Structure 1
């Protein structure tokens, strides 16, 4: 990887079944991630994906791009929810480029969107080359 390289965009479809599985694995059983009525009652547009699940999809894209290189830093701000419909799913799109390569570390600049809207602010990953 070299600075300026553009990485192949990855798209992950998130379904309600994914949210149920993630809730079981993570222990985060907040009903806003599974119950339409509860989500709407607190002002959300519908059931939303867990923020950490969305970030995990970024980690998956990074692993695919780098062949499973050691991730030394992965982070973002949760800026907009990923609304997951009851039927079908929501597509989370992860785009990236190589921002820099120095001292054995590769820094990736990322953009994470759903339906054209950024869902993570300032997403970044650093991997050991």
Structure 2
């Protein structure tokens, strides 16, 4: 697949979508890789005691996995020059089973002078938005 061309983009154009599956084993691996061993990400009792619906995915896992749609589309993760999100709702991860996070990426703005495009991500789990104002700015040739 060739890299996207700025002049070929239109605001409102969908550039990708993906379903991300996260289970408890992935949370444990992510905790080890990130150093975030907060028990709300692996201990049901602790998670419910602090008012959560159960064990939840790391917000940074959700954020990092979601931007993969854009990085794959642009073909070069180094083309991502800015990425911002608001964490709006947790992603509960059942046991047994897994949670599925849906990501839809749409061109939100084009800046021809700067040769950048802003890609807006809609990130949901079970129909509920889990990341708000998720915006990725990419520089295109």
TM over 0.5: yes
Query: SS state of the match for residue 119, structure 1?
Result: strand
| 1:62-95 per-position Cα deviation (integer Å, ceiling 9, x unaligned) | 1122112411111111010000011221011110
Establish whether residue 24 from structure 1 lines up as the match of residue 35 from structure 2: no
Cross-structure match for 1:40? 48
Establish whether residue 3 from structure 1 lines up as the match of residue 14 from structure 2: no
TM-score, normalised to structure 1, is 0.94
Specify which of 66, 70, 75 is matched with residue 74 of structure 2: 66
Could you tell me whether the CA contact under 8 Å between 2:16 and 2:70 is conserved in 1?
A: no
Return the offset for 1:104: 1.2
Tell me the distance in 2 between the aligned counterparts of 1:85 and 1:28: 19
Tell me the distance in 2 between the aligned counterparts of 1:53 and 1:25: 11
Tell me the distance in 2 between the aligned counterparts of 1:114 and 1:74: 20
Specify which of 92, 115, 130 is matched with residue 83 of structure 1: 92
Cross-structure match for 1:95? 104
Cross-structure match for 1:108? 119
Q: Aligned residues, how many? A: 129
